[in-house]
A and B are shown apart, each in its own frame.
Chain A
Amino acid sequence: MTIEFDHIVPTPLKDRFLQRTSEIWNNSVLLKQGEFIKIKAPSGTGKTTLVHILYKLRHDYEGDVRINNIELSGLKEDALAEMRQQQFSIIFQDLRLFPNLTARENIELKRVLQVPYYDAGVIDTMAQALGVSHILEQKASLCSYGEQQRIAIIRALVQPFTWLIMDEPFSHLDADNTYKAARLIEAECRKRNAGMIITDLDDDDHFKYTRQLTL
């Protein structure tokens, strides 16, 4: 599955973005299946905006985003849901967990939203790998931000996908936990022959990126 950005510019920030050079904004970029893409961008350059445009949460942009040559803007509700269940998995910068569900329920919901890719036991395996087994039965709202971030990572990994989209996924993790999370993510992407798009502020060597783009 390919992703193509064709001269996209967010409408509200159009003037500001057109004044500076970017490898993505107002440019033509083609991301191929299985690529590990790092998008590096300082604060305020539109990382989250790009992620939301790609995940079709924002519509206020010019240009086109094409998934396998199909325009993203033309996707209807049910097709969009299908895409989010089968093709695009996401880790939001603001995590977006259900505060009233336990950590396990948050993950389980994403696992059973479509025909499950994994059985339920994988939640415990992944939680153990990331050191969050002890908080699985705890309400998400009572978990620390670092714990929530790992729950959000596991949630993104229990579903089928061909692209994993991550918006500063390790922002609240220490080096050790970041390493463990990165290995798990890499393994899951390799298993699915999936690509990843990760946004961050600085350079890093969490993954062997096939391309690094500056926003």
Chain B
Amino acid sequence: MDGLHLLLKKLIRTGAGRSRFALAIVGLSVAMLLILASVQIQSNYNDLLHSKTNQDSIANFLVLNKILSDKNIGATALSDNEITDLKKQPFVESIGLLSPSRFKASIQSNSERFPFYTDIAFESVPGDFIDVAGKDWKWDPNAQLVPIIVPNMFLDFYNFQFSFSQNLPQLTQQVVKMIIFKINVYGPNGVISFNAHVVGLSDRISSLLVPEEFMSWGNSHFGKNQDTKPSRVIIRTKDPGNPELVQYLKEKGLGTDADKTRFSRYRQVVDMVVTISGITGIIMLVFALLIFSLFIQLTIASCKEEIVLLITLGASPKQLRKFLMQQFFPVNVLIIVVSIIIISVLQLATHQILLRQHIFVSSYPSFNIFITSLAVLILIWWVNRKYISQYISLSAKK
């Protein structure tokens, strides 16, 4: 610290109004925590909604189809115009066509000990819309195995109803994935069999899913009707509870899983928490800045005589401002650094707690935290500088 700084420190005592200073620090700390927390919650929320890697995403996927009535029996296909119109809607983030198998197929067990056989139909959907697709999720005519994704409710139905009635053992997901069974595809030239296995169980689409490659191969070789329009589409939307979406579906006579709209309630709660936390943080920040400015005013007023004499002797407002900024500003940096550390620790804890529930959020704080902190720091710096300059000028004018 240079000599001038030491002498100024002796002259301009920042002791006056310490309690006010402490109050401003507490206020600013709480404000920063609230603001950064709201930014982090928003960021986690967006991660959960939009991250493609999220295994158990709460992003909303809705399978849409025409509601079957007496009038449209046999005409439930969605036209190109209807699909294009759907794509244009603001609430639709992306759209995928569900292709049904147009060939007859059955599955049967390879094992004598555990016999089963059933006729079956498949669907396929673009990979982006599947939540459990892994590296096995592909197929080509030379592949040994056809991967299949099964709705969770099929397994639940088997485990909790079928197995009891047939006196069969209950099966875990792991066991199901280990079973190799046979798919028979019936074409005009006879039956072709493939080995198949379950690669994942999903809640998202209530159909047996096969890779698109297998579906297009099967449909082109064995399909009975080559020019079939899709009857079902899957859309990705931010908020299935969006009134516009609900209204649109109603107008177009489209149906979906109404149960999913329940999630929108939770979303609205998250939104509200983020908004309230953010607004409270901003209000507290404003108050903290106000108290800070009062503290600066009080400090300068309490050593007004010294400041006037310093200026009289030739101290420049720039020198005094620099000194006062050094007195008042570092504590703000400290508050923000501590807030970032607290948020980082909380984020790590959140990451670990949610991981147990198979919900993935980053273990690191969002980059937005740092941008927000920098923005707030610049704001505080500007406010401090403005008030210090203003009060020094007032003092100088006596």
User: Would B4 and A96 count as touching, CB distance under 8 A?
Assistant: no
B393 contacts the other chain (CB 8 A):
yes
Q: Which of A61-69, A75-83, A191-199, A201-209 contacts B (4 or more CB under 8 A)?
A: A75-83
User: Would B11 and A101 count as touching, CB distance under 8 A?
Assistant: yes
A184 contacts the other chain (CB 8 A):
no
User: Would B4 and A109 count as touching, CB distance under 8 A?
Assistant: yes
Q: Which of B92-100, B168-176, B289-297, B309-317 contacts A (4 or more CB under 8 A)?
A: B309-317
Contacts of A100 in B (CB 8 A): 10-11
Q: Shortest beta-carbon distance, A186 to chain B, in Å? A: 23
User: Would B11 and A82 count as touching, CB distance under 8 A?
Assistant: no
B371 contacts the other chain (CB 8 A):
no
B188 contacts the other chain (CB 8 A):
no
User: Would A109 and B7 count as touching, CB distance under 8 A?
Assistant: yes
Contacts of A109 in B (CB 8 A): 4, 7, 313
Selected from B10, B312, B316, the residue in CB contact (under 8 A) with A101 is B10
A82 to B316 alpha-carbon distance, docked (Å): 7
A57 to B396 alpha-carbon distance, docked (Å): 10
Q: Which A-chain residue is minimally distant from B309 (CB atoms)?
A: A96
User: Would B393 and A113 count as touching, CB distance under 8 A?
Assistant: no
Of the listed residues B2, B309, B312, B314, the one surrounded by the most CB atoms of chain A closer than 10 A to its CB is: B314
Contacts of B2 in A (CB 8 A): 112
B3 contacts the other chain (CB 8 A):
yes
What is the total number of residues of chain B having a CB less than 8 Å from a CB of chain A? 19
Contacts of B316 in A (CB 8 A): 77-78, 81-82, 85
User: Would A105 and B7 count as touching, CB distance under 8 A?
Assistant: yes
Selected from A78, A112, A114, the residue in CB contact (under 8 A) with B318 is A78
Once A77-B396, A78-B318 are accepted as A-B contacts, the answer to whether A110 and B10 lie under 8 Å apart by CB is: no
**Interface positions of A from 75 to 95, Cβ below 8 Å from B:** 77-78, 81-85
Contacts of B311 in A (CB 8 A): 81
A110 to B2 alpha-carbon distance, docked (Å): 14
Contacts of A114 in B (CB 8 A): 314
B306 contacts the other chain (CB 8 A):
yes
Once A77-B393, A101-B10 are accepted as A-B contacts, the answer to whether A84 and B3 lie under 8 Å apart by CB is: no
User: Would A113 and B318 count as touching, CB distance under 8 A?
Assistant: no
Q: Shortest beta-carbon distance, A136 to chain B, in Å? A: 15
A159 to B10 alpha-carbon distance, docked (Å): 21
Contacts of A159 in B (CB 8 A): 314
A117 to B368 alpha-carbon distance, docked (Å): 50
> From DSSP, what is the main secondary structure of chain B's interface residues?
helix
User: Would A113 and B10 count as touching, CB distance under 8 A?
Assistant: no
**Interface positions of B from 1 to 24, Cβ below 8 Å from A:** 2-4, 7, 10-11
A98-110, CB under 8 A of B: which get 1 and which 0?
A: 1011000100111
Of the listed residues A77, A82, A85, the one surrounded by the most CB atoms of chain B closer than 10 A to its CB is: A77
B295-335, CB under 8 A of A: which get 1 and which 0?
A: 00000000000100101111111110000000000000000
User: Would A112 and B309 count as touching, CB distance under 8 A?
Assistant: no
Q: Which A-chain residue is minimally distant from B398 (CB atoms)?
A: A57
Once A96-B309, A101-B11 are accepted as A-B contacts, the answer to whether A81 and B4 lie under 8 Å apart by CB is: no
Q: Which A-chain residue is minimally distant from B13 (CB atoms)?
A: A100
User: Would B3 and A85 count as touching, CB distance under 8 A?
Assistant: no
Once A77-B396, A78-B317 are accepted as A-B contacts, the answer to whether A96 and B312 lie under 8 Å apart by CB is: yes
**Interface positions of A from 35 to 84, Cβ below 8 Å from B:** 57, 77-78, 81-84
User: Would A105 and B10 count as touching, CB distance under 8 A?
Assistant: yes
Selected from B3, B4, B306, B393, the residue in CB contact (under 8 A) with A98 is B306
Q: Which A-chain residue is minimally distant from B392 (CB atoms)?
A: A77
Q: Shortest beta-carbon distance, A131 to chain B, in Å? A: 24
A113 to B11 alpha-carbon distance, docked (Å): 14
A76 to B194 alpha-carbon distance, docked (Å): 90
Selected from A77, A83, A108, A110, the residue in CB contact (under 8 A) with B313 is A110
**Interface positions of A from 18 to 50, Cβ below 8 Å from B:** none
User: Would B317 and A98 count as touching, CB distance under 8 A?
Assistant: no
Selected from A81, A98, A105, the residue in CB contact (under 8 A) with B314 is A81
User: Would B314 and A112 count as touching, CB distance under 8 A?
Assistant: no
Q: Shortest beta-carbon distance, B385 to chain A, in Å? A: 15
Once A77-B317, A77-B396, A109-B4 are accepted as A-B contacts, the answer to whether A98 and B312 lie under 8 Å apart by CB is: no
Once A98-B11, A100-B11, A101-B7 are accepted as A-B contacts, the answer to whether A113 and B314 lie under 8 Å apart by CB is: yes
Q: State the 9 A-B residue pairs at the shortest beta-carbon distance, nearest first.
A: A84-B314, A81-B316, A85-B314, A112-B3, A112-B4, A109-B7, A77-B317, A78-B316, A81-B314
Residues of A within 8 A of B (CB): 57, 77-78, 81-85, 96, 98, 100-101, 105, 108-110, 112-114, 159
Q: List 5 A-B contacts (CB under 8 A).
A: A78-B316, A108-B7, A109-B7, A112-B2, A112-B4
